């Protein structure tokens, strides 16, 4: 039977508990919710739904070009970041790829659909799940693609742009493509320290994955995109699937979202404050935290392997990381939410994890 492996499955949680009021800490979504302006844009877009969506997402791509400061020809929009991942696998059919582990499951899943030989670079608790210098030596082998999530999911550990530039340079000499997933970069306190977006024009082997899902609380609308100076790859992505994967509603919502500057400012401050609050409370409980630079916290609870089940019984859904490569049932991930929800979680944790 097929097993769903991601967070955000409130539907199964409701069925299991018969509780319609689950508090979802398993999906890392902006706690401010969908911006009001985006809701209005969605409603207004309904009148256009008698037409097919623009297959080239012209207005959205133009808005993204201005927002990201890149040529519009360097942008491809899709039905969420996951569609980009699967289209890349189908379009490029890499023979051999290198993945970090633990990391986002869909990289492995997508590459598995096209028979790619996979090798894994293990990130370990002993090294705080950091990417070490020896990673550069691993790149001496022959790979068609290298996939790096930054900040990494689930660890929240970030890799500095200065180091990733070395990765890109080494891979460029070997004609190896490098995908850097920056879907959580907007939640990092110093994004300029970690993002490689300024290297796009210098390295045509670089692809940067981004999405509206997390920062604009739009997972149900499905909208993501990739940035690359390699326009041949853009064409190959277009040819690798249907032409209308981004709905009219999603396109209009994305255009509107890009103008929500005050909303994003509030988001960054809220996430910074609440992340610090949760880290402090978890540390008081003796829980070991790692990385956690984005809008989620990754932690280990030795002796509490069923923490997710204990919390679900209290109406709180968190992400067990037991199904990630290299992890076990002592590792968990929680979203950073608003103070009211965070207090509920902390109270439950204090009750379960006795000092």
pLDDT digits (tens, 9 = 90+) for 84-137: 999 999 999 999 999 999 999 999 999 999 999 999 999 999 999 999 999 999
- Count of beta carbons in the 10 Å neighbourhood of residue 50: 7
What is the domain extent for residue 122? 36-257
Residues 195 and 99 in one domain: yes
Is 2 domain-assigned?
A: no
**pLDDT (0 to 100) of residue 107:** 97
The pLDDT value recorded for residue 208 is: 98
The CATH number linked to 233 is 3.40.640.10
The DSSP code for 214 is: T
pTM of the model: 0.96
Averaged pLDDT score across all residues of the chain? 95
- Asked whether residue 218 falls in the same domain as residue 306, the answer is no
- Write the DSSP assignment of 49-105 as a string of letters: TTSPPPTT-HHHHHHHHHHHTS-GGGEEEESSHHHHHHHHHHHH--SEEEEEES--H
Q: Are residues 44 and 70 in the same domain?
A: yes
pLDDT, position 4: 75
In what helix (H) or strand (E) does residue 339 lie, and over which residues does it extend?
Answer: helix 339-352
pLDDT, one tens digit per residue, over 246-288 is 999 999 999 999 999 999 999 999 999 999 999 999 999 999 9
Tell me which H or E stretch contains 38: helix 36-45
- CB neighbour list of residue 230: distance below 8 Å, 6 or more residues apart: 177, 204, 205, 206, 207
Which of 257, 279, 310 terminates a domain? The answer is: 257
Q: Is the pLDDT of residue 355 over 70?
A: no
Q: What is the pLDDT of residues 296-326, one digit of tens each?
A: 999 999 888 899 999 999 999 999 999 999 9
1 located within any domain: no
Total number of domains constituting the chain: 2
The domain boundary, picked from 257, 278, 296, lies at 257
Residues 86 and 207 in one domain: yes
Q: Do 175 and 79 sit in the same domain of this protein?
A: yes
Q: For the domain that residue 265 is a member of, what is the CATH number?
A: 3.90.1150.10
Phi, psi for 335 (deg, rounded to 5): -75, 155
> pLDDT tens across 327-349, in order?
999 999 999 999 999 999 999 99
pLDDT band at 234 (very low <50, low <70, confident <90, very high): very high
């Amino acid at each position: 039977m097929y097993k769903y492996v991601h967070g955000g499955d409130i539907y199964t949680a409701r069925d299991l508990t018969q509780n319609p009021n689950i508090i979802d800490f398993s999906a890392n979504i902006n706690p401010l919710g969908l911006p009001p302006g985006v809701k209005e844009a969605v409603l207004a877009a309904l009148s256009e739904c008698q037409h097919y969506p623009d297959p080239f997402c012209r207005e959205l791509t133009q808005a993204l070009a201005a927002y990201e400061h890149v040529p519009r020809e360097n942008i491809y929009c899709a039905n969420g970041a996951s569609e980009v991942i699967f289209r890349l696998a189908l379009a490029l059919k890499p023979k051999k790829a290198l993945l970090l582990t633990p990391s986002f499951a869909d990289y492995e899943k997508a590459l598995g659909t096209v028979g790619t030989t996979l090798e894994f670079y293990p990130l370990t608790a002993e090294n705080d799940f950091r990417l070490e210098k020896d990673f550069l030596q691993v790149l001496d082998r022959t790979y068609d693609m290298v996939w790096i999530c930054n900040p990494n999911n689930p660890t929240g550990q970030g890799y500095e742009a200065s180091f990733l530039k070395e990765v890109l340079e080494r891979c460029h000499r070997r004609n190896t493509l490098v995908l850097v997933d920056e879907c959580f970069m907007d939640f990092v306190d110093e994004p300029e320290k970690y993002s490689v977006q300024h290297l796009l024009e210098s390295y045509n082997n670089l692809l940067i994955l981004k999405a509206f899902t997390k920062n604009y609380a739009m997972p149900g609308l499905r909208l993501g995109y990739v940035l690359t100076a390699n326009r041949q790859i853009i064409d190959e992505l277009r040819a690798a699937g249907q032409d209308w994967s981004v709905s009219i509603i999603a396109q209009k919502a994305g255009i509107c979202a890009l103008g929500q500057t005050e909303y994003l400012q509030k988001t960054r401050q809220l996430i910074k404050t609440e992340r610090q609050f949760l880290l402090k409370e978890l540390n008081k409980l003796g829980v070991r935290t790692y990385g956690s630079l984005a809008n989620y916290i990754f932690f280990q609870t030795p002796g509490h392997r069923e923490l997710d089940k204990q919390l679900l019984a209290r109406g709180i859904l968190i992400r067990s990381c037991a199904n990630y490569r290299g992890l076990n049932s002592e590792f968990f991930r929680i979203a950073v939410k608003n103070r009211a929800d965070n207090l509920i979680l902390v109270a439950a944790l204090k009750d379960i994890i006795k000092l």
